[in-house]
A and B are shown apart, each in its own frame.
Chain A
Amino acid sequence: MVSFTKPKIRRKNEPTNDIGLIRSDYDGAMSTLCAGCGHDSVTAAMGRAFFELAIEPYRAVKVSGIGCSSKTTTYFMSQAHGNNTVHGRMPAVATGAMAANADLTYIGVSGDGDSLSIGLGQLVHAMRRNVNMLYMLENNGVYGLTKGQFSAAADIGSTAKKGGANEMAPIDPCALALSVGATFVARSFSGDKEQLVNLIKAGLKHKGFAIIDVTSPCVSFNDHKGSTKSYEHTFKYYHKAVHADYVPPSAEIRASYEDGETMPIELHDGGVINLRKLDNGYDPTDRASAFSKVLESGQSDEILTGLLYIDETTKDMTTRKNLPKRALNTIDYAELNPGANKMAGLMKEFG
C-alpha cells in the first residue's frame, strides 16, 4: 500500500517548547527530494532550531531561490510566511521584506548554485548591507536538479559521477563572506545535527547577516568515491574548530561563563553565544585570523567547521538606515503620511 506522509502524532509525554508547541508543529509538507539527501537533514535541523527557540511560526519568514535546497522551505514550518523567489534573487527579496517588517525572524535557504553562480552578486551585497537574516547555503558541489554538473563550489580534483575531475578553483562561501563583511560566518555538515542546530539557533539570534555554509551531500550525483562532498569524505575530514552554544537570556546561565575555555559573546536580545574553542590559538572574533584559518583549511583536505567568525558590533541594515523597527502595515496613516505641508517643507529644504 502507498503511504508517504509523515503522520502527525502527539505522543504521550511529548516535550513541548516554551510556547506549548511540539516538534512536529514545525514540520512542513513531505520532502520530494531524493531519499538520503543532506538537505532533508538540514531541514530537520532548521525545524528543530525554530522549535527550541520557541519562535512562533507566524513570526518567521522563509525565503529561497531556485534549486533542490530552495525547495526545502516548503518542508518545514508550514505555518510561517514564505517566498520562493526568482533564481539567485532571494537576498533582494529578503532585503525588501526586511525593510517592510524588521520585526520578524528571517531565514533564507539556498544552495551553492543559487548562491555562488547566478546569485553571487545578490549574496555579497546582502552581506555588505548586513541584513538581519540567517542565510543557509546548502552546499553539495553540484547542480543536483539538472543531474550533477559541477557547481562553483566544487573542489579542484573532485570528480563528477560520470566524467572527469573539476579543474577550476572553488568559491569558498566562508572566505567570500569574510571578505565582504558578513558578521556571522559558520560552516557545518548536514550529518552533524548537534553542531548544526546550535549554529542555526545562534545565527537566528545574531543581529546582522549570518551565513552557514552547510556541506549537504547530493546522494544521487555527488556521493561517490571521487567526490569531496560525499558523506564518507566529509565524515573523514570533518574538523570542529569552534563549538557555539546559544544561551537564551537568563540570569542563572550567565553565571557559568567563568570557564577559561569558553568565550561568551553577548547578543542584542540579551542572550549569549558561548564559544568553546577546540583549536588553540583560534580567535573567532578576529576577522583576519579567521580569514587566514579558512584559507589554510582550503589548501588542505580538512573541513573546518563551527562558528568561524562573529561580530556583534557592526550595525545591521535596519539600524544603520534608521528603518522602522515595526511592520509598515502597523504604522497608521497619519504617521506614515506626514501631509502636504511637511512635503512642501521638505521640498523647500532641498530646493
Chain B
Amino acid sequence: MKPTDTSDPDYFHKVVDCQWACPAHTPVPAYIRLISQGKYSDAYMLNRASNVFPGILGRVCDRPCEPACRRTRVEEEPVAICRLKRVAADHRGDITDRLPKKPKNTNGKKIALVGAGPASFTVANDLAPLGYECTIFEKFEKPGGLMRTNIPAFRLPEDVLMEELGYILDMGVDLKLGSPVNSMKELLKEGYDAIFVGTGAAKGKDLRLPGRDEASNIHIGIEWLESVAFEHIEKIGKKVLIIGVGNTAMDCCRTSLRLGANDVKVMARKPRAFFKASPWELEDAEEENVEILVNHSPKAFVHKGGRLTGMTFDLMEYDIDSSGRIVDQKIVGETTIPCDDVILAIGQNNAFPWIEETCGIEFDKWDVPVVDKVTFESTQKGVFFGGDSAFGPLNIIWAVQHGHEAAISIHKYCQGESLTERRPDKLTLEPTKMGMFEWSYNNSFDDSERREMDHVALTERFASLGTEVELGFSPEKIATEVQRCLNCDMQTVFDAPKCTECDACIDICPVECLTLAPPAEEAVLREAVSAANDDQALFISDELKFTGRVMLKDEDVCLHCGLCAERCPTAAWDMQEGIVTIHHAGDQELDEIFEAAE
C-alpha cells in the first residue's frame, strides 16, 4: 500500500471526469459556474482559451465530456455540457477587445497552414498573437473545412462559423481562398519557416458492389454534403437510402429530407448497439421520422437502364456473447428495397495526392503520414500534421487539441528549442471556504433531471436548409441545468495529521465513499469502501496518528457536496478548487519566470 500522491497534477484533474475526457481539457465546471452567475462573456472566454470555438462546439461537438460526466453515477443523464457551452456563446456580450491581438511587429517567421479547418485555425489562433505570419491555404472559396462542408447549416449556421473564424482572421492571419496546394515540394521551396497540414480526412469511402459502375444516383456522403454546402446540389429523389450509421449518415439523411426526400431509410449492417453515431444524433434523426433498419448488409445496386431503382441487402443474424461482442453471423435471407438515390456514409480516409514521395514525409502502409503523437511533427523537419489528416478521422475537438500541440511544436521549432521539452500540466488548489456552512460554490445537490433542448417544429424546419433546428436553452432551462453540475473541480483535500478519527465525514457522506481501515493492499482497501470502478482512483491517506489506520475515499462516487469538510471538526478535509493549467504556445517560454515566482 502506498499513500496517494495528490501532488501529481493528473490526480485531481482525473476526478473532473468531463475535463479529463475533453481532448482540449476545457474546464467545464468552472465555466458552468460562470454561466450560473450570469457571466456569459467570462464563460465564453474561459471556453475559448482551451477549445477556441465555443459557439461551434456548443452545437456540434462530439461531446466526449458527457458520457464521462459524474452525474451519470447517480442518474441516467449527464449534465447538458454541450448545450451550456452554446449558452455561453449565445448570451455573451461583445468580447472582441478581450481576444488576443495581432502584435505591432511580427517576429519575421512565416508559417504555411494547408486547409482552412479547425486544426489550422487553432494553430493560427495560437501563433498569430505571438508575431508569426500565418498564411492559410484553402482550396474552396469559403473557409471552415469539414465544419462547413460536412456539417449541414441546420446544425451549424454559417454566421456562427464565420464569426468565430473571423476572430482568428482578425489577428492578422492571411487566408488564401480558392488556393489549393498542389505540391508539397513546391510549398517546401517557398521559404516558410514551418508548414502545418490540416487538410482533414476528406475522401469518402466507396462501396464496390455489383451495379456500382452502371447505376446512377449513387453518392459518396461527404462529397455529397460538400456539394450541398456549396449549393451545387439542391435536390434529391423522394426515396433515399443511406448506407452506414455514423454521424455523417445522420447528416446525410436529415439533409435529404430538406432537399425533397420524403422516405429516408438508414441501412445498418449490425444491431443498434454497434451504431457509430452519437446517441443524440440518432435521436434527432429519428425525431424527423428517419427509419433506421438494422441487420441489412448491402449486396448489390439494382438498376434499370443505368437508372438506380433499388438496393439488395442480405438479412443478417448475429450471435452476441455476454460481453456484447459479435461471435458469429449468418445470412438468413435477402431483400430488395426500392429507392431513387443511395448515399454512402461508411467512413472516410486521409488522402494526400499532393504530397510527393520525395518530400521526406513518410507514410505508413495505410497511407497515413507518420506523425509523432506528442509533437505532431512528420518525418520531415518543420512539417507538422494535425486534425483528421494526422491520425485519421476524429472530430473537431480533437482537431483543436492537435492544433494547440502543433502550435507549441512550431513555436519551439522556430525558436530553435527542443520540441519534446514541453511545460507539464499544472494544478493549483485554491481555498473555497467562506464561513460556517458557506463555500464559494453552490454545494447543494440539485436532483433536477436533464433539460431537453427545444427544437423548431417539424412542420417548419424542412422549409430551408439553413433553419437551425435547435433553439438553445431558455433562461429557466439554463438556471436548472447549471445546478445539475456537481462541481467536480471542487476537490476534497485531506490533511492526515489533523484527523482525529471521529468518523464525522464517514457518517455524513451521502454516497458512503469514505471509510477508515487498517493499512493493506489496495485491492483490500477498495473492498473496505466498496470501490467498484477500477478506472477511478482510490484515495489512501498517510497513516493516522491515533490508530495507524488510513482514510480511504472512493473518488468514483464522490458528489463534491462538501459535507465531509463541513462536518470535519479539525478541517482535515477541505474543499479546494483545483485549477488545471494546460499550457499553450503562448506560455511556453515563460518557464523560468513562472518557476522563479513559484
Contacts and interface: CB of A to CB of B under 8 A. Distances in A.
Interface of A: 1-13, 23-24, 34-38, 40-41, 43-44, 190-191, 193, 217, 219, 223, 231-232, 235-236
- Chain B at the A interface: SS class: loop
Interface stretch (B113-121, B242-250, B285-293, B440-448): B440-448
Interface centre among A7, A24, A219 (most CB of B within 10 A): A7
A41 B505 CA distance: 9
A41 B504 contact: yes
B546 A235 contact: yes
A235 B549 CA distance: 11
Contacts of A4: 437, 563, 566
Given A1-B443, A9-B559, A190-B503, A36 B438 contact: no
Contact of B569 (A2, A24, A36, A44): A36
* Most chain A CB neighbours (cut-off 10 Å) among B442, B510, B559, B568: B510
A9 B566 contact: no
B512 interface: yes
A232 B501 CA distance: 9
B501 A35 contact: no
B428 interface: no
Interface in B259-288: none
8 contacts: A4-B563, A6-B510, A9-B447, A35-B504, A36-B502, A37-B502, A40-B503, A235-B547
Interface string B543-577: 00011000000000101011100111110000000
B507 A11 contact: no
Contacts of A219: 500, 502, 569
Contact of B501 (A1, A2, A12, A191): A191
A34 to B, nearest CB: 7
Nearest to B502: A36
Interface string B569-592: 110000000000000000000000
Given A1-B442, A2-B438, A235-B501, A11 B569 contact: no
A9 B546 contact: no
Given A36-B502, A36-B568, A3 B444 contact: yes
A13 B561 CA distance: 20
Contacts, number: 97
Q: Which bracket fits the contact residues of B? A: 35 or more
A41 B503 contact: yes
Contacts of B512: 23
A36 B567 contact: yes
Contacts of B504: 35-37, 40-41
B473 interface: no
Contacts of A223: 500
Contact of B557 (A11, A44, A193): A11
Contacts of A2: 437-438, 444
Contacts of A34: 569
Given A11-B557, A24-B510, A36-B504, A6 B546 contact: no
A219 B563 CA distance: 18
A131 B546 CA distance: 38
A41 B561 contact: no
A224 B501 CA distance: 14
B445 A236 contact: no
Given A11-B557, A193-B506, 18 more contacts: A1-B439, A2-B444, A3-B442, A3-B561, A4-B566, A7-B447, A8-B510, A9-B510, A10-B74, A12-B74, A24-B510, A35-B566, A35-B567, A41-B502, A191-B502, A193-B503, A217-B502, A235-B547
Nearest to B568: A35
Contacts of A43: 507
Interface of B: 73-74, 437-439, 441-445, 447, 500-504, 506-508, 510-512, 532, 546-547, 557, 559, 561-563, 566-570
B71 to A, nearest CB: 11
Q: Which of B504, B557, B568 has the most CB of A within 10 A?
A: B504
Contacts of A3: 437, 442-445, 561-562
Nearest to A235: B546
Contacts of B442: 1, 3
Contacts of A37: 502, 504
Contact of B507 (A44, A217, A236): A44
A190 B502 CA distance: 8
Contact of B445 (A7, A11, A36, A231): A7
A79 to B, nearest CB: 18
A3 B559 CA distance: 13
Contacts of B444: 1-3, 5, 7
Nearest to B565: A35
Contacts of A44: 503, 506-507
A231 B502 contact: yes
Contacts of A35: 504, 566-569
Of B73, B439, B546, B568, most buried by chain A (CB within 10 Å of CB) is B546
Nearest to B515: A193
A193 to B, nearest CB: 7
B546 A236 contact: yes
Contacts of B74: 9-12
Contacts of A5: 444
B563 A6 contact: yes
B501 A9 contact: no
B503 A11 contact: no
A9 B486 CA distance: 13
Nearest to A36: B569
Nearest to B508: A6
Contacts of B502: 36-38, 41, 190-191, 217, 219, 231
A35 B73 CA distance: 28
Contacts of A10: 74
Nearest to B509: A6
A82 B98 CA distance: 62
A13 to B, nearest CB: 8
A193 B505 CA distance: 13
Nearest to B445: A7
A35 B502 CA distance: 9
- Of B74, B532, B569, most buried by chain A (CB within 10 Å of CB) is B569
